[in-house]
Structure 1
């Protein structure tokens, strides 16, 4: 992620390792960039699912003995788990760290308007490129679901609707492309004398 821009960089979290992606995002935020991470439920964790679940359950047991309402607060949603991972890599109690975190957006699924935006990946954080093929891994969405996140089915339903709508849009675009190409062929002969005049002035039609 080189080169800063005022535009928000939209990262598709699918297939990324959580910690590796968090480190890249944290550094980019501290440099002044804006980031939105979508599909956090499809982030991956290295290690067997059962091992990660035991670690998470141990984390849930950590609390203030006098008054648990004081914290620590345990996020269950995949997007909030990723947010907390990024927060741990940023000096979030300083003005600079708070400003950096304010430039971060995290989402489960792909809500509007990010479903219409171009999404990118971070190669150094992709599981298929960084984790050995025989190593165990698990999805954050499944882990969250088993420790108290109640919206897995809702997100799956919304994703199905988004994908079906996308298929219709792509089909429409392909048809329009064919019709445009056919129309160009139909007018090519009629437009030929005009194109010659345009080319004589040094312009390409």
Structure 2
């Protein structure tokens, strides 16, 4: 059985974390990401929201392309874009990724890996949480 790594995405830069996860998935590692809604994107809020809205509106209701609104699915699609999905290795790698909103009950006691090299604390720029982008696109969090 493969070892599963649990990564906490709180206050990490989404693109940098996604690229690191994609590399590890291609090496055959199983990864679970928790607190995906707390990942951040660096930049001006207006520009980021405008960009995501244009991308989301590009899709057709019935014919696609279908873009996600939920934060954990946006995160998973970001990782998917960094994998070679045309190869068998890339297709299999995405199946070894689980992304969760918050921390599920079965992972409460698990040791969380907090990658310091992807933290947004060191960057002195404006950031937008993935949760805010999702709410702007129409996602309603369930309590």
TM-score, normalised by the number of residues in structure 1:
0.66
Find the aligned partners of 2:87 and 2:63 in 1 and give their Cα distance.
21
- Report the RMSD for the aligned CA atoms in angstroms: 1.4
The alignment status of 1:148 with 2:141, answered yes or no, reads no
Q: Gapped runs of 5+ residues in structure 2?
A: none
Say which SS state the counterpart of residue 74 (structure 1) adopts: coil
SS at match of 2:133: helix
CA distance in 1 between counterparts of 2:107 and 2:46 reads 33
Q: How high is the TM-score relative to the length of structure 2?
A: 0.94
1:83 matches 2:73 = no
Superposed, which structure 2 residues align to 1:122-141 within 5 Å?
122-129=115-122, 131=123, 133=124, 135-141=125-131
Runs of 5+ unmatched residues, structure 1: 155-205
Residue deviations 1:17-68 (CA, integer Å, cap 9, x gap): 000000000000000001000000100010122211111111112135xxx5
2: CA distance between counterparts of 1:53 and 1:15?
A: 18
Matched, 1:100 2:93: yes
Task: Extract structure 1 runs of 4+ deviating beyond 2 A.
Answer: none
Q: Distance in 2 between matches of 1:91 and 1:127?
A: 27
1:73 alignment counterpart = 66
Q: Once the 2 structures are TM-superposed, how far is the Cα of residue 112 of structure 1 from its aligned partner?
A: 2.1
Q: Which residue of 103, 120, 124 corresponds with 1:110?
A: 103
As a proportion of its length, which structure holds more helix?
1
Which has more strand, going by share of residues? Answer: 2
What are the superposed Cα offsets for residues 140-162 of structure 1, whole Å, 9 maximum, x if unpaired? 101101211111x52xxxxxxxx
Higher relative contact order (CA 8 A, sep 6+): 2
Larger radius of gyration: 1
Q: Which of the numbers 38, 45, 52 marks the counterpart of 1:49?
A: 45
